[in-house]
Amino acid sequence: MGAWSTYSFGSEHGGASAFSNSTNDTAEWLYFGYSARVWSSKNSDRGIVEVSLDGSVFANVDLYSAVALAAAPIAAPQAVLGFHRLKLRVTGTKNGASSGYTCMADAIEVMQ
């Protein structure tokens, strides 16, 4: 994990969220199950986050939204039951309408 910071806000799962806008910062979770979802808020200052499972990139997710969304899921692909590593990486890119590059991670939900 890189320079991710946390902040507290009532609408976040558990009352807090992690965020970074530093290119190539990563956040990783090791979990046991089939698949997982990371929950993230979306807003007008958000960037694009790369999502990988077990070392394979499967999506670049644009976290920009003109209207603030408290919780939006970023889903991983289905996998066989076992231990998996879900990773987010700040790409340092953004939607042209976004005012920033911030990427958020609120909570992880494991499908078992």
The residue ranges of every structural domain in the chain are 5-111
pTM to 2 decimals? 0.89
DSSP code per residue over 18-36: EEE-STT-EEEEEEEESEE
Q: Nearest Cα to 29, choosing from 74, 81, 87, 71?
A: 87
Fold of 5-111: Jelly Rolls (2.60.120)
Cα 65 to Cα 80: distance, rounded to the nearest angstrom: 33
- pLDDT per residue as tens, the chain (112 positions): 567 888 776 666 666 788 899 999 999 999 999 999 998 989 999 999 999 999 999 999 999 999 998 888 888 888 999 999 999 999 999 999 999 999 998 888 998 7
